[in-house]
Amino acid sequence: MARLFSPRPPPSEDLFYETYYSLSQQYPLLLLLLVIVLVGLLALLAVAWELASDPGFLTTMLCGLGGFSLLLGLASREQRLQRWTRPLSGLVWAALLALGLGFLFTGGVVSAWDQVSFFLFVIFTVYAMLPLGMRDAAAAGLASSLSHLLVLGLYLGPQPDSQPALLPQLAANAVLFLCGNVAGAYHKALMERALRATFREALSSLHSRRRLDTEKKHQEHLLLSILPAYLAREMKAEIMARLQAGQGSRPESTNNFHSLYVKRHQGVSVLYADIVGFTRLASECSPKELVLMLNELFGKFDQIAKEHECMRIKILGDCYYCVSGLPLSLPDHAINCVRMGLDMCRAIRKLRAATGVDINMRVGVHSGSVLCGVIGLQKWQYDVWSHDVTLANHMEASGVPGRVHITGATLALLAGAYAVEDAAMEHGDPYLRELGEPTYLVIDPRAEEEDEKGTAGGLLSSLEGPKMRPSLLMTRYLESWGAAKPFAHLSHVESPVSTSTPLPEKALSSFSPQWSLDRSRTPRGLDDELDTGDAKFFQVIEQLNSQKQWKQSEDFNPLTLYFREKEMEKEYRLSALPAFKYYAACTFLVFFSNFIIQMLVTNRPPALTITYSITFLLFFLLLFVCFSEHLTKCVLKGPKMLHWLPTLSVLVATRPGLRVALGTATILLVFSMAITSLVFLPAASNCPFWASNVSFTASNLSWELPESLPLISVPYSVHCCVLGFLSCSLFLHMSFELKLLLLLLWLAACCSLFLHSHAWLSDCLIARLYLGALDSRPGVLKEPKLMGAISFFIFFFTLLVLARQNEYYCRLDFLWKKKLRQEQEETETMENLTRLLLENVLPAHVAPQFIGQNRRNEDLYHQSYECVCVLFASVPDFKEFYSESSINHEGLECLRLLNEIIADFDELLSKPKFSGVEKIKTICSTYMAATGLNATSGQDAQQDAEQSCSHLGTMVEFAVALGSKLDVINKHSFNNFRLRVGLNHGPVVAGVIGAQKPQYDIWGNTVNVASRMESTGVLGKIQVTEETACALQSLGYTCYSRGIIKVKGKGQLCTYFLNTDLTRTGPPSATLG
């Protein structure tokens, strides 16, 4: 039972289904169960008060009312506390069990048949109405059964022989409880199966929409591979607006601002990680080795991020950073990031031990708030900004290799989960030194274990020989990690796909759960990052909510649940039902249970035996008809005249009239046999225990009526009638109005029998139980006829609620199947949208490598270039301009201005003269672009230098245009931002890495030096290396020497400033000489 009172387990692949099932179907039933119990208790209290029952019984009632009122209050807030649904269900079950035991020992003499109906109610509702898994429900049901049997067995065992035979009654109780457990489990299993089928139909419907048009599928996957779902919806509209206005143009806006897709999130943790020693190692790699190494490394990090509920933001060279707590908040975001950092360090440690390559991982973590979203018009990349992000970056830069460096803010959120030690370092980082805050290093609890076990240091290098290059050793080892290839999900998009194939459950993990019923819950740690999604999917899930049945709908009448379209209603009623045979089989189990019970508690008169024999024959005939198709092989081996028998089950499944007739007949058989024993009891009121001369000392009086059945069969007839109610609920697809009619009929029949025509039997049994006790009177639930009437009404209303719920889901399942067939006809061509999306993910010359018919997904895309010009252009003043205050909405308005700057820069790319400029990425306020990436690989070195590097001039003109754009923005925003630009040219390696968020990037010493040219540059200047200055001179640009400067990682370099005030001239500038 401990499972019932434990919080929900960590999210699994089925979390979306479990959430949908728990909230949509079980949560309303939990509330209705509590309401039914409270109403029943109030009715009991009124009757007990009128009959002046004993104080113990009244006290039990009042305690029950108070307890269940409190539980109803808690349950009404459960939508906000869904993670505690399981403990709340456990409390409801425990309260019901306690109430049943209280009723057992108050109100009169304790008997073996006492409260059996109530415990049967508890058992059945545990399965049918509490949001528990099958295992938990089975455990609770069996525990309820055993508690009743053991308590009564231990209590009544030592009683005198005046009590009726105990063992047969306990055996009958056990049969009742077993039947209740089986019926409840059957109901739960079929409902879960139906719900899952409906759920899968919804997914299949969504799947068919995507697969009908491959272009639409392309744009969905490409957009969601770079953006979270909530941003994808907004930005998709932006793309459509751009298409309508013309390629690459900006849609008209009433406020003259570009759209800003940035939101603020509080309570997140940011992790920055850098691979120490990777730059030197990368310089020794071939292009294929470099791209493979990066893809495997960052693929491994993406797997770790997924395991620890973190979302990767970007890859910057060999720097990896991610956030936990986006797009929805997580209570354990700090622990998630620290765990991820430790696992990253551990992975690199294993890599170093296996290969002997000297690399390490440096990790920094800080917790706080971020602004997250997308800026600019092209090459969208989800990013985060804030002072807290900057601090996390500096934590990494000032950290210790192999350790996770955290701030005090993160430490406070760890709540002692990890031991730490003071960083104890004089921060060389001016940013951290200015803050003056203490920092800490996390102690990895598994580091010592790994050291004790020992690792075969350099195992791979010793096996392969000492002459193998470290980069090749790394590549060999990393291939064993098996990271997924970028755009692997698009490898077969051109081939037609069967729309009948349901969307795999794992596809759910790619959807953000922010559309689910509980927006505070965070189902993370699934197969893919939760920053992708499809709004339509969650609209579908919302439509599956059972509470929708009471609201106006385009499809259903909220009162009758009939389809509004008459043709659809007719089609539904005429639809086939292959599961009917299982309904009949389970109903037979109820019938068989009634038979065993009556055989145990009666003296088995011959007439009763004959009646049951005939009924058994009818049931076997029915089951043979239903299951005849499973006997096809046997029948075909027999005479030809019997070959038609297997078609009987097909007729039952496909003919609704025959099905309704057989179902009704089956239920009526169970009804009639439940009260058969009463037929063999006398109708006249001839009770020998009412005689005034019967002494209370006559303990040897029989429990049997003269020439009739034992009196003890009366309460068990009540219990059999309750099982009759349950048999009606086993036909899940039976229409609600027919169930209502049968339940009303059965309720009227039972109440008429036990409260009117055969009420004297209950009075006679009470007279025998209380023989000689003239002053005592049994409590309400101790008198069989009153107990029976209350049980009948409680089961009637409970089963009506379930019947309504079942009807809704049966119709919903039919509706989704029909919608799936209709949606296969929907299609729309979106070629222009796909093209724009491709250009926002990959360069135009790279995209066909991943989308084309002949895509070889086993190969990573990589390309080497001999002459590429790389530009880094930053607005350093923006760092000082950026602030977080209530006036600027915690930095949001500052980012709005940055968005305008980047968007205006992006607009330059649509000009024909800059068609050769490829935007790579933006890093905060730094813009990175390159030219020469669309040149033929490997041939530039053989071409004339003037021709091969002619694109350098395009990049210079682009840099000048960036400055002009910034001047215009300054004019309109009353700012004085200045651009700082660094240029360098030379060989680079380009490639696409990352399966979770595929990213096109370029690497190499050329890129690193270009970045240093910008970071060491001067505002308003374009700084270049000496080699680039010579190349630009040959193109007619003027450069002048800045002198020797110190460049991090490169030593002393002689750099030049480009004279951008001069246009291209004939002779080269003398200042270069």
By annotation, the residues acting in catalysis are 1012, 1048
Q: Which amino acid is at 130?
A: L
Q: Is the separation of the CB atoms in 868 and 931 below 8 Å?
A: yes
Q: For the packed helices 580-601 and 647-654, what is the interaxial angle rounded to 10 degrees? A: 100
Q: Which residue has the tokens 């170093």?
A: 352
Task: Please name the residues in contact with 671: beta carbons below 8 A apart, sequence gap of 6 or more.
Answer: 724, 727, 746, 749
Task: Please name the residues in contact with 908: beta carbons below 8 A apart, sequence gap of 6 or more.
Answer: 914, 917, 958, 961, 962, 965
> Is residue 1022 within a helix (H) or strand (E), and if so which, with residue range?
strand 1022-1025
Would you give the distance in Å from CA 347 to the centre of its chain?
Answer: 28
- Calculate the CA dihedral of residues 659, 661, 662, 668 and round it to 10 degrees: 140
Q: Which amino acid is at 939?
A: Q
> Is residue 360 within a helix (H) or strand (E), and if so which, with residue range?
strand 360-374
Q: Is the separation of the CB atoms in 44 and 566 below 8 Å?
A: no
- Phi/psi at 431 (nearest 5 deg)? -60, -50
Q: For the packed helices 759-769 and 784-823, what is the interaxial angle rounded to 10 degrees? A: 130
Q: What's 1050's DSSP letter?
A: T
Task: Please name the residues in contact with 282: beta carbons below 8 A apart, sequence gap of 6 or more.
Answer: 290, 293, 318, 471, 1003, 1004
Q: Is the separation of the CB atoms in 860 and 288 below 8 Å?
A: yes
Q: Which amino acid is at 804?
A: R
Three-state SS annotation for 160-220: CCCCCCHHHHHHHHHHHHHHHHHHHHHHHHHHHHHHHHHHHHHHHHHHHHHHHCHHHHHHH
How far from 767 is each of 111, 650, 688, 1006, CA to CA, in Å?
14, 55, 9, 103
CA Rg value for the chain: 38
Rounded to the nearest 5 percent, the helix, strand and coil shares of the chain are 55, 10, 30
Tell me the C-alpha distance between 390 and 458, whole Å.
37
Three-class SS of residue 7? coil
Q: Is the separation of the CB atoms in 1026 and 1054 below 8 Å?
A: yes
User: Which segments within 409-560 are labelled E, that is strand?
Assistant: 420-422, 439-442
Tell me the C-alpha distance between 813 and 572, whole Å.
10
* Pair type for strands 980-993 and 1022-1025: parallel
Task: Please name the residues in contact with 629: beta carbons below 8 A apart, sequence gap of 6 or more.
Answer: 646, 647, 648, 649, 650
Task: Please name the residues in contact with 408: beta carbons below 8 A apart, sequence gap of 6 or more.
Answer: 437, 438, 439, 440
> Is residue 385 within a helix (H) or strand (E), and if so which, with residue range?
strand 383-385
Tell me the C-alpha distance between 404 and 395, whole Å.
9
Task: Please name the residues in contact with 944: beta carbons below 8 A apart, sequence gap of 6 or more.
Answer: none
Q: Which amino acid is at 1026?
A: E
> Is residue 987 within a helix (H) or strand (E), and if so which, with residue range?
strand 980-993
Tell me the residue length of the chain: 1073
- First CA to last CA across the chain, in angstroms? 86
